[in-house]
Amino acid sequence: MIDTKEIIKDFPILDREIGGHKLVYLDNAATSQKPRAVIDAISHYYEHYNANVHRGIHTMSEEATAAYEEVREKIAAFIGADNTCEIIYTRNTTEAINLVAYSWGRQNVLPGDEIVLTPMEHHSNLVPWQQLAAEREAKLVFLELTEDGQVNMESARSLIGPKTRLVALTAMSNVLGTIVPVREIADIAHAAGAVVLVDGAQSVPHLPTSVKEMGCDFLAFSFHKMLGPTGTGILWGKKELLEAMPPFMFGGDMISSVAREKSRFNELPWKFEAGTPNIADVIASGAAIDYLSKLGMENVRRHEVEITRYALEKLGSLKDIVIYGPKDAEKRGGVIAFNIDGLHPHDLGQILSDSGIAIRAGHHCCQPLMKDLKVMGTARASFYIYNTTAEVDLLAAALEEADKVLGHVAVR
């Protein structure tokens, strides 16, 4: 089991006080905090072997290249990929999805084809497909959700068919917390001849991940949500698909040779990695993988199920609160979106901030889902490895204090 008291010691920022209150950080679905090991890895690179990768024969360049490429091996092991050439460095999940939309999509999506999505998709896994569909005269099709925010599998079986070219879906909703049955949907998609892209931005940091068990063709995720720095993301894709795709950007490092009139492109994975990369933060992302691997992703998941179950019960005891998504903690991630009758989520976020509690408030880059829920936005508390049930108690107490100020919240 995770020893949260010991974990907290590894995160310098968690010692911070805000307004005289010890920080309670419950905005992990937006970005996670960073352990000392990750922070030190960035400093160590700049202090000891700051050099460009792949291009130098001097000692520091060779050291930087070795450290940079070693992370690719760690990532492959972490997600169960067969080959490091399938691991493409990007800036974030959004860029990884756009890479697929531009490079694979514009080669393979034809007029009349259908792109199937869920209503829970983050804008990053919706807007690129809107643009592609408009350009290629394709159609967007949306699966249905059950009343408690899970994918209606009957709709998946009926809507995914011969016209489906791509199924792009989140593995875990950043609003509802819903854990999507990716493998079951992927099997349906593949039987129809479609390709499957998974947005793993919320799932990879919190669940044991195997691209083989998922059965997907592409997986995108970001390190800043899993203890790593910002500006580092990953696209995993099946080798045969990536080899058939043209480069996403052009310039240095993605070429094998250049003449005045034409160029030959590099092999995988470098043909998708033009220009000087985010070397320090990629190396530090390796430290984040090491940290999570030492804890064990099964233990990370177990901790979050326990704290989410506690939070659902604790927050559910408040009057006039609406909690969105599955009621069973086993069927959702550590994300709880909620509203309190008569209180705007932005006001709620500010009140909690005054108590040192950081949550998210707004539409969470899921405006179509908010429309389906018939709300403008929600408040959202999201948990990670350093959060405790005591912090959930503080959240609930702050909501009760808001009742005294605004008269909207009371314990039943």
Q: Which of 85, 216, 365, 366 is catalytic?
A: 365
For the chain, what's the residue count?
412
Is 365 one of the catalytic residues? yes
With residue 289 as reference, give the H or E element that holds it: helix 279-295
Strands 24-25 and 255-258 turn out to be unpaired
Residue 61 class from Cβ within 10 Å (0-12 exposed, 13-18 middle, 19+ buried)? middle
Q: What's the first-to-final CA gap in the chain, in angstroms?
A: 33
Rounded to whole angstroms, how far apart are CA atoms 49 and 279? 11
Tokens 């992370």 belong to 71
- Check if the beta carbon of residue 249 is closer than 8 Å to that of residue 274: yes
Question: Which DSSP string do the residues of 357-399 spell out, in sequence order?
Answer: EE-EEE-TT-HHHHHHHT-S-EEEEE--TT--HHHHHHHHHHH
| Cross-strand bridge partners of residue 335 | 382
* CA neighbor of 149 nearest in space, from 179, 185, 183, 186: 179
Q: What does DSSP assign to residue 29?
A: T
| Close Cβ partners of 93 (under 8 Å, ≥ 6 residues apart) | 124, 199, 200, 201, 220, 221, 222, 233
Q: Cβ of 375: how many Cβ atoms within 10 Å?
A: 15
The residues annotated with a catalytic role in the active site are 365
